[in-house]
Structure 1
């Protein structure tokens, strides 16, 4: 299982939201590249990076910081937020991003995502509110069940599915293991849990659960409820 520490970018700063609400943004650093470097020093292999402004605008909005993070770390980076067309995908891949995350466009145009997955390293972001897919930076909830969307990407060539229980995100209330497993079962694609991770016990629970490929850690690190270095050591020993 891979632990992917997260950096969410808003107005060039490293922030965390609660339940996806932009007005809930809490700033943790004015230098996101330094946070990325800390993750690398702790033992991370991957960085989960999100352009929050881009997610709402539908186009890249934090390019300067993304470029700086890429230049200042050797981490593999997956990046999401506002990626809606091939031009943006190619721009990020050329910049050195290792994998792009397609979220809102995956719900609206799954055929496009499958086409892109045949040409570029792609992860699908499935974010859900009460089991239904949330889009446009979680500002809208669709009528599609998250598991139905997951089925769309079975044998599609996407590298991973990142599933977020929006009601858990940023709350430190524990990860939704069952939701993650339902997405993994529906898709057959390596599935990464996101939302609600609180402490080392959450990491242990996921490690003991067959079928979960990874977990994204955000607020638990920033608020100090999870010793990230110990979490990496725990995974390494498994």
Structure 2
């Protein structure tokens, strides 16, 4: 009788173990399959123009400008990049090849896919993409916030053209007409650049109050501009 009870107890023990193992394995399988997978291929140039404060990533974004999930894109010596990003939740409505800062905030986007209607696997075949830092400054700062007064029409305020193809030569190492002894952009020093002082509201010589052009919500663009200047203001 004791032997029979012993076998019964052992059988029940194995039964409990077997019943317990099933749901654990099933739960693990469900967890490992959550989210979508993004496969990105691209040929990248200009990445070496960016300082370490920024990262080129493939990332998922929802309603905000901060990446929900991201993975760094590291091209090989020929500029070829191949990245797989897994676990992209349904919260992400777009996946992008973009530059982010250390706070994971999107600075500039180079390629975007609306993934709200995509399946489990999203292919991003980007092709050739130039991520030069000055181009980002031109597009995100000058084109979006400055050229309406500085060259976007038939003339430019104070004769300062910030349109594509003219802005670099108009700014870098060009003496300021408002502050004697200063230049508009001093390569290697944003603090000594009159452009920085104007945008930060630190230039009493400025007659037009440019500090409102890039308000608090655009401070990441001030940082982009400063980092470009501090790292040599390269074209």
What TM-score, normalized by structure 1, do the two folds share? Answer: 0.22
Bigger radius of gyration = 2
More helix by share: 1
More strand by share: 1
What TM-score, normalized by structure 2, do the two folds share? Answer: 0.23
